[in-house]
Amino acid sequence: MIWRLIKTAIFTLVAPGTVALYLPAMLRERSADQAIHSFYLYPWLALFLCGAAIYLWCAWDFAVKGLGTPAPIDAPRVLVVQGLYRFTRNPMYLGVATMIRAQAGYYRSRSVAVYLLFVVLAFHTFVRLYEEPTLRGLFGEQYETYCQTVPRWLVRLPHQ
């Protein structure tokens, strides 16, 4: 399990770290947008931390419950349907998008907001063209049942 957590940490630094932190920072530096007053920091910081917590919770579940990592080349071997995956099929992507949204809001950055739209479109395309067909092939009926009960993007509370 320790090795899976180390691989998850490395992947997190490289992929989500680049998408959610490095690229928005590069876009901010190039734009004329300025950060808003410091008292506005707290709601945006809370949103950013919420997104980070969502991603980290899901990455933990992939390593511990799914016996894999978020990296497509070392994906979970067990379909993860507990934790935040009870409410939406793609909470990890939503967490990353939330972190980017928080930065776009705090810095009032149009360039980061446009980047967010591009990232969300890329996530959706990747999910539809690669992840969903791959998961159907790997998990068959179990994944089909999961898709029928849990929405792709919207958050829905499970039935009691």
Q: Which residue has the tokens 């709601």?
A: 43
What the block records as the tokens of 138 is 């790997």
The pLDDT score that the predictor gives to residue 39 is: 65
The pLDDT score that the predictor gives to residue 124 is: 98
Q: How far apart are CA 84 and CA 123, in angstroms?
A: 18
CB atoms within 10 A of CB 3: 9
Q: Are 114 and 100 in contact (CB under 8 A)?
A: no
The pLDDT score that the predictor gives to residue 36 is: 58
The pLDDT score that the predictor gives to residue 156 is: 81
Nearest Cα to Cα of residue 128 among 111, 146, 152, 145: 152
Low-confidence ranges of the chain (pLDDT < 50): 33
Transcribe 18-50 into DSSP letters. Answer: IIIIIHHHHHHHHS------GGGHHHHHHHHHH
Q: Are 107 and 29 in contact (CB under 8 A)?
A: no
The one-letter code for the residue type at 154 is L
Question: Is this structure's pTM higher than 0.95?
Answer: no
- Element containing residue 77 per DSSP (H, E): none
Q: Which residue has the tokens 């320790």?
A: 2
The pLDDT score that the predictor gives to residue 30 is: 55
Q: Are 116 and 103 in contact (CB under 8 A)?
A: no
pLDDT tens for 98-132 read: 999 999 998 888 999 999 999 999 999 999 999 99
